[in-house]
Structure 1
Amino acid sequence: MNNSPIVKEYSYENQVQVVDLILQIQQQEYNISITKDDQPDLFTIEEYYQTGNGNFWIALYDKNVVGTISLLDIGNNQVALRKMFVNKEYRGAIYKTARLLLDTAIKWAKERPIKAIFLGTTPQFLAAHRFYEKNGFINIDLNDLPEHFPVLQVDKKFYKYVLE
């Protein structure tokens, strides 16, 4: 039996599950005081993420959304990795959900004229920091971000991935 979730491009039919997954992780798991009203992009995913060199993917397991990842086109052949969330039960070596999502996004980016992927994250996401570093992301300073990178209030740690 294949334990791996299926990664596919986001479609509107998955919106409720996407919002529920992201809010649950942010609010309950990490105690970040952020609401759905603070994230209007979650209600306009097609228009916000799936344009230009951007896209949004979901990981499905038994028709349930268990993970998300997106690339936001920020111009100049650069993208911001956003909304990388994986249900706690689907993290790690058994399901490899995060790896499947990241590999999908990087493969997709390599098929376009994208030169670099940037991301911002919060200090408390320590496992995420290790994951990004293990997968080729380099820690950078806030001042090294592109001009149009959308820095969120919670973002204090930043990474860059250069596409060859």
Structure 2
Amino acid sequence: MSEIEIRPFVASDIDDVFAVILPIQREEFGIAITADDQPDLGAIPDSYQSGKGQFWVAVRKGQIVGTIGLKDIGNSQTALRKMFVAADVRGREHGVAARLLAGLVDHAEAQGIKDIFLGTTDKFLAAHRFYEKNGFAEVSKSELPPSFPLMAVDSKFYRRRITAA
């Protein structure tokens, strides 16, 4: 596990971020989506690295193998977005997803964030188990804050309350 480094996104990471995310979206999830369809990824500093938000990458042997974003949506609330882990480093033995999420939660606590919301599709059963195991509880769409960035593909929603340390 120690071979994986979690660090904030820097501008030179952009091509590698797309190289991780796009194949997962297109080939694994069968979503016909392009980089242009995701303007938030083309503007990570503005979309995620502002307010109380941040965007992290997981790096293994100099290559980005995972991503996670925390978008500040106001009122000390945030949206977890763009959590992707390359297939060859998924699973407990690598701990990439767990480490990305732990870094995000640590950041949220340090920033005084109250809630982390996320949306996913009902197809991603492994993701549902992961989020539930990590303190997220399913909520209805009507419980989302008005500022939550809804995606057309999202049909299942989660919330994790953050309590100040």
Bigger Cα displacement from structure 2, 2-11 vs 114-123: 2-11
Deviation of 1:48 (Å): 1.0
Distance of 1:25 and 1:54 partners within structure 2: 24
Q: Tell me the equivalent position of 1:125.
A: 124
Contact in 1 for aligned 2:3/2:61 (Cα 8 Å): no
Letter in 2 for 1:152: M
Q: Tell me the equivalent position of 1:41.
A: 40
Q: Does 1:160 align with 2:159?
A: yes
SS in 1 for 2:74: coil
Distance of 1:16 and 1:97 partners within structure 2: 20
Contact in 2 for aligned 1:3/1:94 (Cα 8 Å): no
For 1:63-142, list aligned pairs within 5 A: 63-142=62-141
The TM-score, its normalising length taken from structure 2, stands at 0.96
Distance of 2:88 and 2:8 partners within structure 1: 22
Distance of 2:121 and 2:25 partners within structure 1: 11
Q: Deviations over 1:19-75 (max 9, x none)?
A: 111101000111112211110111110111100010000000001100000100000
Distance of 1:22 and 1:68 partners within structure 2: 8
For 1:18-29, list aligned pairs within 5 A: 18-29=17-28
Over 3 Å counting, the alpha-carbon distance change for 1:4 and 1:131 in structure 2 is: farther
Distance of 2:2 and 2:90 partners within structure 1: 12
Q: Tell me the equivalent position of 1:145.
A: 144
Distance of 2:52 and 2:89 partners within structure 1: 28
SS in 1 for 2:67: strand
Distance of 1:22 and 1:140 partners within structure 2: 26
Q: Deviations over 1:68-120 (max 9, x none)?
A: 00100000000000000000111101110000000000001000121000000
Deviation of 1:131 (Å): 0.1
Deviation of 1:12 (Å): 0.8
Letter in 1 for 2:77: Q
The TM-score, its normalising length taken from structure 1, stands at 0.97
Runs of 4+ deviating beyond 6 Å: none
Distance of 1:138 and 1:111 partners within structure 2: 21
Number of residue-to-residue matches in the alignment: 163
Letter in 2 for 1:50: Q
Root mean square deviation of aligned Cα: 0.9
Identity %: 47
